[in-house]
Chains A and B, each alone.
Chain A
Amino acid sequence: MFERFKSKAEEARAEIFRFPDTPAAVEFLTAWLRQEGASATPGSAALFAEAPYLTGPVRECLTRIPGVRFDVSREQAAQAAFGVSQMDWALADTGTLVQDATAVAQRLVSTLPPVHIALVPTAGLLPDLPALLSRVDPRQSGYLAFITGPSRTADIERVLTIGVHGPKRLIALFVDDLKARA
């Protein structure tokens, strides 16, 4: 299912990685953020929306990285270079990430910064949309967000252009030991 997801998501121009555990994913992420220029200078921050994995040593490790912040606000999100959030599910047949985005921080970090990095529990992989719809109740999740690749348009002469109002890059890190939502 992961391979199918990967090929579909890559068709939609997402960048897909997979790690056996959270420490491996976080190690990759910190190196990647450094390399991509995350720093304490204004406009270069990496803004993390709260998620269960952000505790203990993982959080401590991240805190030491320059530019990493957890205080998500409208102003911070509008300034940040990177937004990081945890998604709940992934749909293999369309390469789609799905999240209960009722908490506004989850939406801010995935809409405003030019790069969105999504941690995804591999266990949250589902075959398709009907499988998801039978698992979620929208009355419990006020804002269900489906994301398939970066923001795109073809409104000028039908030429596909990436990154209109939303992120210009979408990077998904699948983590095998991350706990999926029930």
Chain B
Amino acid sequence: MDTSFKTSIQDALHNANLTGALGKFSEAYKVNRARAYEGIDFEALRGTIAERKSAAATHLRELAGRFAQNAEARGAKVFLATSPEQARAYILDVARRSGVKTVVKSKSMASEEIHLNAALEADGVTVSETDLGEWIIQLAGQRPSHMVMPAIHMTKEEVSDLFSKAVEERLSADIPRLVSVARDTLRPRFLEADMGISGANIAVAETGSIVLVTNEGNARLVTTLPKIHVALVGIEKLVEEFKDVAPILQALPKSATAQALTSYVSVITGPVPNTDGTQKELHIVLMDNRRSEMAADPQFKQALQCIRCASCLNVCPIFRLVGGHVFGKVYTGGIGTILTAWFDALKASEDIQGLCIQCGACKEVCPGKIDIPELIMELRRRLVKEEGLPFMQKAIFAVVNRRRLFHSMLRAASVADKPFASGRFIRHLPMFLAGLTDGRSLPAIATVPFRDRFKRIVQPQLKEKAAFFAGCLIDFAYPEMGEALVRILNKAGIEVVFPDAQTCCGAPARYSGAYEVAAQNAIDNIKALSLDEVTYVISACPTCTAALAKEFQATFESLGMTEWIAQARALAAKTVDFATLVAKLVDEGRLSFEAGQALGSVTYHDSCHLKRTLHAEQAPRSLLRRAGYEVREMFECDTCCGMGGSYSLKLPEIAAPMLQRKLQNITRTGAATVAMDCPGCVMQIRGGFDQADAPVRVRHTLELLDDALGSNSRS
């Protein structure tokens, strides 16, 4: 990772204005967004948008042609620009020919993408951004930190300093006063400008219309007062038919700012009259800049379904800590990482792709139904292919890929970590590893791993069998969880088998972009776990379950290793997470809890993969309630705890504040215990409470159920 990138993260994390504003906004956003979508079938709506946008992306060039034809039939001039250079040259030429001295602009990310302001200014044209946030950014000489709210990182005091300089009058930091200064200062510029420049939120091929969505009313002035209007439009804004405007307009304001509709929407089709009775000169620049290439890429085509609402930024637990400027480019956040890799260069995403913890929060809210986390993984895979894995990681995966060496190193670590362990935790690590135990203790490696303990467990001989996939954390750090799982399944009449040849599920390798390593892990596990006599392959780690149930196939598909897909599918069909299987067993009456137990209060932390990949968030809650626990929901129960596999090792400075927020939300419920279904989350959260010396118990759901059933059998 680049050191200047690490420094920019540190700067952002220590910028209290930024983290305060973004934190407050992200909390309010979730509530307001849910309210805005009340009574609307979001899944159906985004299904329609994804389908319409995907259909458009399939023939972008053809739609661009139809758009041009229809807009020109109405009197507009349409220019198809392949590159940013062409787009800039065209606009500069229009300006020169008409002797344009001043330009007013309404917000356009496409113009940021091609650095249009700089080009116009170099040509002697005065450019005024008129969107309030954009104007603030322009006065500050910065880049927008958010696609929809460009100046969200600035305080009113900073804005009043900027405005004071601009109007040469000392202004107080009173927001309504600052807004009225902007109105008064920019109004004459609208009236005097020779040219208005806008973007477009939608371009309709069928009618040659462009659709502009704003709240401030600046786009209406930009498109009404100057005699020349230039709209710069990325070709991904194209839709086929006029009726396709409806679903996008229904979702965009709700997802962007939690509004039913923005104050203004303008649908412009061809030139309209100017105030002096002449017809407006309307130029529409359709810009490709690698969007066609993207459309031709089977993986990345879906990124063109983006409607630029920025909800992926708003729900991102990382973005709210670091803001947009660490992304270093025009487009920020999850989708910004993907767009930067294409519009700029793959290499430009090398550092920023690492910011994604793969929690999946963005995927849930994306109105274009884009699998952003998956596309970021694909960037990782391509980066590793082009650039190679960083040295340290390569060394680690070389070990992980050789099961015996990996396992014997973990065993050795159980002895080696003794000097640093305190009870069941490693509280401090020496030298360069010290950052890993900042704010969190790591679990001590178990002296006897589960694979050895299993051999000593005496089980009844039962007809139905399940293979247990332990995963590294249960095997080597939390073997007692594995033992509890065996007890619970035995009570339901299922005998557990533990295939010894199982190894790492491959998630760490896959999440680092090392797909070949992940594929080898998958093959080893398929061989170990494909047993005819078992009905289920059960795992108590959602990340492992997701690997077995979904990612093995995806990895093989990405690498073209089709010969393994059938076997991966067969394994997936048997794979089930602990909570889902046990809930089923309880429903079938094969396992029951003693009625009327009062086992105390528990709050539940949703692990990312259990909730957003496996969609199994109800099963553990219902099991805990049926067992006799009182479940108290915490604020942001499904926000990532900051573990993210090796993420907390690579970016501990981001993972640590995520953990602190989680600990705070848990503590605020007053519950004595926090339950979760992922041993990785247990490691993160238990370690956090250990270091904070807090009395909250951190348990895997299966441990709590084992407790409840234990008292059952004793009675």
Contacts and interface: CB of A to CB of B under 8 A. Distances in A.
Interface of A: 8, 11-12, 73-74, 78, 93-96, 102-104, 107-108, 110-112, 129-130, 133-134, 137-139, 141-159, 161, 163-167
B263 interface: yes
A110 B220 CA distance: 10
B178 A143 contact: no
Given A104-B224, A139-B269, A152-B215, A147 B263 contact: yes
A12 B260 contact: yes
Contacts of B175: 156-157, 159, 161
Nearest to A140: B269
Interface string B118-137: 00000000000011110010
Contacts of B207: 137-139
Given A164-B216, A164-B218, A148 B272 contact: no
22 contacts: A94-B261, A102-B272, A103-B273, A104-B224, A108-B224, A108-B275, A130-B246, A139-B207, A144-B267, A146-B265, A151-B217, A151-B264, A152-B263, A153-B179, A155-B151, A156-B132, A156-B136, A156-B154, A158-B24, A163-B183, A165-B221, A166-B217
Contact of B260 (A8, A130, A143): A8
A74 B192 CA distance: 11
A133 B149 contact: no
Contacts of A164: 132, 179, 182-183, 215-218
A156 B179 contact: yes
Contacts of A147: 263-264
Contacts of A102: 272-273
Contact of B215 (A111, A143, A153, A167): A153
Interface string B253-265: 0000101111111
Given A149-B263, A152-B216, A165-B216, A78 B191 contact: yes
Given A111-B224, A130-B246, 8 more contacts: A12-B263, A134-B243, A138-B269, A143-B272, A144-B268, A158-B25, A158-B28, A164-B216
B150 A155 contact: yes
Contacts of B217: 111, 151, 164-167
Contacts of B242: 133, 137-138
Interface of A is mostly: loop
Interface of B: 21, 24-25, 28, 70, 74, 130-133, 136, 149-152, 154-156, 159, 175-176, 178-180, 182-183, 186-187, 190-191, 204, 207-209, 215-218, 220-221, 223-225, 242-243, 245-246, 249-250, 257, 259-276
Contacts of A156: 132, 136, 151, 154, 156, 159, 175, 178-179
Nearest to B267: A144
Contacts of A107: 220, 224
B260 A11 contact: yes
B221 A111 contact: yes
Contacts of A153: 132-133, 179, 215-216
Contacts of A148: 260-264
Among A137, A157, A165, the most chain B Cβ lie within 10 Å of the Cβ of: A165
Nearest to A132: B246
A45 to B, nearest CB: 17
What 9 A-B pairs are tightest by C-beta distance, nearest first?
A166-B217, A155-B133, A146-B265, A144-B267, A151-B217, A164-B216, A74-B275, A155-B132, A138-B269
B263 A166 contact: yes
B155 A157 contact: yes
Given A78-B191, A156-B175, A133 B263 contact: no
Contacts of A110: 220
Contact of A133 (B190, B245, B271, B273): B245
A139 B76 CA distance: 12
A91 to B, nearest CB: 8
B268 to A, nearest CB: 6
A151 B191 contact: no
Given A111-B224, A133-B242, A158 B21 contact: yes
Contacts of B149: 154-155, 158
Contacts of B21: 157-158
Contacts of A166: 216-218, 220-221, 263-264
Contacts of B263: 12, 147-152, 166
A150 B214 CA distance: 12
B38 to A, nearest CB: 12
Contacts of A142: 74, 268-272
Contacts of A134: 243
Contact of A129 (B180, B186, B246, B271): B246
A95 B216 CA distance: 17
B266 A146 contact: yes
Contacts of A165: 130, 183, 186-187, 190, 216-218, 220-221
A73 to B, nearest CB: 7
